[in-house]
């Protein structure tokens, strides 16, 4: 019986196998779900003197990230492919690492989410390039909006983490 790949193995395989747009979009979708859940988890577990500001920031960001899921999944279907079917599939494909630590300081939460959003931005740009190669302007347009939103999330996380030090 073969074992499921570890997250790092999955990430490496996923990065090396991205040759078509549906596969790339499904990898993005797995990362979007992973980032959504991590953002929401940090929102739930936030504490400290900046609690209210960070709690609200992460709630807003989580909602924006979650809104991406349906758009990406439906785009995969529109271009004629199947999309993710389970949490297990998300786990196998995600390239954004989970954080199961029982206590993460607020500044570490912000820093981790900043890096995760930057990683997602890189993956969005790679998928955008695939769209350009394949002439899929509709998907390119959607990704451009997501890139702009991701840059804003990263900017806010960067500035919030600077303010707390």
Tell me, yes or no, whether 154 lies in a domain: yes
Residue 39: the pLDDT is 98
Taking only the tens place, the pLDDT of each residue in 47-85 is: 999 999 999 999 999 999 999 999 999 999 999 999 999
Tell me, yes or no, whether 81 lies in a domain: yes
Of the pLDDT bands very low, low, confident and very high (cuts 50, 70, 90), residue 108 is: very high
Tell me, yes or no, whether 44 lies in a domain: yes
Residue 46: the pLDDT is 96
In this prediction the pTM is 0.87
List the structure tokens of 43.
């929102």
- Cα distance between residue 96 and residue 34, in whole Å: 6
Residue 81: the pLDDT is 96
> Total structural domains in the chain?
1
Kindly give, in sequence order, each residue whose CB lies less than 8 Å from that of residue 97, ignoring residues fewer than 6 positions away. Answer: 7, 34
Percent of the chain past pLDDT 90, that is, above it, reads 85
Residue 163: the pLDDT is 62
- Cα distance between residue 129 and residue 125, in whole Å: 6
**Pair 4, 92: CB distance under 8 Å:** yes
Domain at 97, CATH number: 1.20.1260.10
Whether residue 87 has pLDDT greater than 70: yes
- Cα distance between residue 145 and residue 20, in whole Å: 21
Percent of the chain past pLDDT 70, that is, above it, reads 87
Tell me, yes or no, whether 2 lies in a domain: no
Summarize the confidence of residues 36-44 as an average pLDDT. Answer: 98
Summarize the confidence of residues 85-95 as an average pLDDT. Answer: 97
Average pLDDT, the chain: 90
Domain that holds residue 130: 7-163
Tell me, yes or no, whether 42 lies in a domain: yes
Summarize the confidence of residues 105-133 as an average pLDDT. Answer: 97
- Cα distance between residue 26 and residue 33, in whole Å: 11
Residue 13: the pLDDT is 41
């Amino acid at each position: 019986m073969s074992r499921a790949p570890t997250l790092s193995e999955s990430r490496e395989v996923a990065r090396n196998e991205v040759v078509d747009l549906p596969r790339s979009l499904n990898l993005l979708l797995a990362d979007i779900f992973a980032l959504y859940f991590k953002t929401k988890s940090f929102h739930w577990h936030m504490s400290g003197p900046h609690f209210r500001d960070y709690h609200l920031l992460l709630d807003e960001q989580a909602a924006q990230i979650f809104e991406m899921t349906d758009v990406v999944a439906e785009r995969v279907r529109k271009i004629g492919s199947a999309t993710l079917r389970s949490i297990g599939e998300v786990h196998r494909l995600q390239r954004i690492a989970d954080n199961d630590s029982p206590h993460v300081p607020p500044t570490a939460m912000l820093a981790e989410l900043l890096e995760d959003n930057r990683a997602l931005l890189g993956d969005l740009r790679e998928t955008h390039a695939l769209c350009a190669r394949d002439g899929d302007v509709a998907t390119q347009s959607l990704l451009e909006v997501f890139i702009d939103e991701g840059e804003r999330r990263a900017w806010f996380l960067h500035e919030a983490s600077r303010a707390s030090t």
